[in-house]
Amino acid sequence: MGEFELIKKYFQEHSQGDGVVVGIGDDCALLQVSEGYSLAVSVDTLVADVHFPSNGDPEKIAERALRVNLSDLAAVGARPRWFTLAISLPSVDENWLKSFSQGLLRVATQYQCVLVGGDTTKGPLSISIQVHGEVIAERALLRGGARVGDLIYVTGDLGAAAAAVLALESKVSPTSEDRDYLMSRYYKPTPRLAEAKLLAPFVSAAIDVSDGLVADLGHICEQSNVAALLDLDRLPVAEAVRRSVKDSVAVELAAAGGDDYELCLTVRDVQRSQFESVAKRHGIKVTLIGNITSGTGVACLMHGAPHQLSKQGYQHF
């Protein structure tokens, strides 16, 4: 099977949708952004045996790859529109491609994000996805908007994806029910798109938790020229994590483990009650975990005393 046949068979038929003037098959895709909106663009590359095992389930790899990208759109409050896929494959394995495209296109359909182009090459297995969303520029949730006195919140719960990685490495042995939860959080992170959209009017800065809460909150601090005081006792540690590891490890996983793809948000103190009531009304779990202070960096408190975490988050180099 050649390159063009492959594209046609596994990717092309899904390239039509709203705003797609020209999809897969020409030199460029032509896309129509809604009037008054800015294009929000983000790309992520997943390399076999760095980001996922090369013998991993292709359907899960694809699902996770797209979900993780969509999370970046959620973090700026953008609505997903289109994506491109650059894939490098060691060989044409039709079973692999079939599962991969099924996983990919299922998530694409769920979040109404259309595959409009890409690139296919031969080489070591790697996957790059570029997502395109739209957002009104003045309403984009950026990292630089936090001010001293803002409150820090996080959506959902934390630590499950990092605990899943420990379970995959056989370093912890959760019950089978807890294991299922941890794995679903790792392989199928939920991009918090709906939550971001509803909460956006009350948010001063936002980031999605990919490298770990402390590391990612650190990015907000850096870009906002502020510091953060994080109360580790308040972290919404996932129940399955609490049951699977001892308390001190659970807190470390929630604070420094990555891959949860929850949103860390800052909110002006005066907006607090509006923010919390909108969250409550829509059944969005948000937890107050600290506040923005002056200075630099993220300081942590545990049982009221300063606490140094042993791990600060994932870094590639």
Q: Which residues bind ligand ADP (CB under 6 A)?
A: 7, 11, 24-27, 85, 87, 115, 117-120
Quick note: the x/- pattern for Mg ion over 81-120, rule CB under 5 A, is: --------------------------------------x-
Is 109 or 175 the residue whose CB approaches ligand ADP more closely? Answer: 109
Going along 218-285, which residue ranges are E strands? 227-231, 263-267
CB atoms < 10 A from the CB of 128, how many?
A: 18
Is 117 or 290 the residue whose CB approaches ligand ADP more closely? Answer: 117
What tokens appear for 262 in the block? 């929850």
Beta strands 227-231; 297-302: pairing state: parallel
154 vs 145: CA distance, rounded Å: 16
Is 119 or 177 the residue whose CB approaches Mg ion more closely? Answer: 119
260 vs 211: CA distance, rounded Å: 9
Hey, which residues does 41 pair with through a beta bridge?
132
Is 84 or 190 the residue whose CB approaches Mg ion more closely? Answer: 84
Q: Shortest distance, CB of residue 197 to ligand ADP, whole angstroms?
A: 27
Q: Do residues 178 and 240 make contact, with C-beta atoms less than 8 angstroms apart? A: yes
Hey, which residues does 290 pair with through a beta bridge?
152, 230
The entry of Mg ion, ligand ADP, none near residue 97 (CB within 5 to 8 angstroms by kind) is none
Q: Shortest distance, CB of residue 27 to Mg ion, whole angstroms?
A: 9
Closest CA to 126 of 195, 45, 63: 45
Which residues lie below 8 Å from residue 110, measured CB to CB, with a gap of 6+?
A: none
Q: Shortest distance, CB of residue 316 to ligand ADP, whole angstroms?
A: 24
Q: Shortest distance, CB of residue 126 to Mg ion, whole angstroms?
A: 15
Q: Shortest distance, CB of residue 20 to Mg ion, whole angstroms?
A: 18
Closest CA to 220 of 313, 142, 308: 142
Is 73 or 85 the residue whose CB approaches ligand ADP more closely? Answer: 85
Closest CA to 113 of 94, 85, 91, 152: 85
The entry of Mg ion, ligand ADP, none near residue 11 (CB within 5 to 8 angstroms by kind) is ligand ADP
Estimate to the nearest angstrom the gap between the alpha carbon of 146 and the chain centroid.
Answer: 20
Is 128 or 291 the residue whose CB approaches ligand ADP more closely? Answer: 128
Quick note: the x/- pattern for Mg ion over 119-148, rule CB under 5 A, is: x-----------------------------
Q: Shortest distance, CB of residue 113 to Mg ion, whole angstroms?
A: 21
**Alpha-carbon torsion, ordered 252, 255, 261, 262, to 10 deg:** 130
Is 58 or 118 the residue whose CB approaches ligand ADP more closely? Answer: 118
The entry of ligand ADP, Mg ion, none near residue 13 (CB within 5 to 8 angstroms by kind) is none
Residues that bind Mg ion (CB under 5 A): 119
